[in-house]
Amino acid sequence: MKKLTVVFLITILAAIFLTACMAEEDYSGIWYMREISLGGVTLSLEGLDLEALHKRQYIDLRADGNAELLNNMTDSGIYQSLDGSWSINGKGEIEIQFPGGVMTLIPQDGNLCLQDGDTVQVYGRNDPSTYHTELHTEENQIVPIAGNTAEKEEDFFGIWTSSGEILINGARQEIFSSQQIILTILPGRLSYSVGDRTEDRITLFQDNILSAWVEIAPEEYLLDFTLALFEDGSLGWSTNQEGMPINLYRKNAQ
Please report the pLDDT score of residue 155 as a whole number. 92
Instruction: Read off the pLDDT of residues 83-133 as tens digits, 9 standing for 90 and up.
Output: 999 999 999 999 999 988 999 999 999 999 999 888 899 999 988 876 443
Q: Are 68 and 59 in contact (CB under 8 A)?
A: yes
- Coil/strand/helix, residue 159: strand
Please report the pLDDT score of residue 92 as a whole number. 93
What's the CA gap between 118 and 50, in Å, rounded?
22
Instruction: Read off the pLDDT of residues 173-207 as tens digits, 9 standing for 90 and up.
Output: 887 766 788 999 998 889 989 888 888 888 888 87
Closest CA to 237 of 175, 163, 173: 163
Please report the pLDDT score of residue 135 as a whole number. 34
H or E stretch at 22: helix 2-26
Please report the pLDDT score of residue 32 as a whole number. 93
Please report the pLDDT score of residue 246 as a whole number. 85
Please report the pLDDT score of residue 223 as a whole number. 61
Q: Are 70 and 79 in contact (CB under 8 A)?
A: yes
Answer positive or negative: Cα dihedral of 145, 148, 154, 160: negative
The answer to which of 7-21, 46-60, 118-132, 197-211 has the lowest mean pLDDT is 7-21
Mean pLDDT of the 27-32 span = 92
The answer to which of 20-34, 57-71, 131-145, 210-224 has the lowest mean pLDDT is 131-145
User: 192 or 50, which is more confident?
Assistant: 192
* Burial per residue of 69-107, b for 16 or more beta-carbon CB atoms within 10 angstroms, e otherwise: bebbeeeeeeeeeeebebebeeeeebbbeeeeeebbbeb
Please report the pLDDT score of residue 138 as a whole number. 38
Residue 221 has pLDDT above 70, yes or no: no
What's the CA gap between 37 and 122, in Å, rounded?
9
Q: 244 forms bridges with which residues in the sheet?
A: none
- Coil/strand/helix, residue 80: strand
Which range of 17-26, 120-129, 211-220, 239-248 scores highest in mean pLDDT? It is: 120-129
The type of residue at 21 is: C
3-state secondary structure 175-201: CCCCCCEEEEEECCEEEEEECCEEEEE
What's the CA gap between 120 and 36, in Å, rounded?
6
Answer positive or negative: Cα dihedral of 154, 160, 163, 164: positive
Mean pLDDT of the 237-242 span = 71
**Checking DSSP bridges between strand 29-38 and strand 57-61, what pairing results, if any?**
antiparallel
pLDDT tier, 158 (very low <50, low <70, confident <90, very high otherwise): very high
Please report the pLDDT score of residue 61 as a whole number. 94
Intra-chain end-to-end CA distance of the chain, in Å: 92
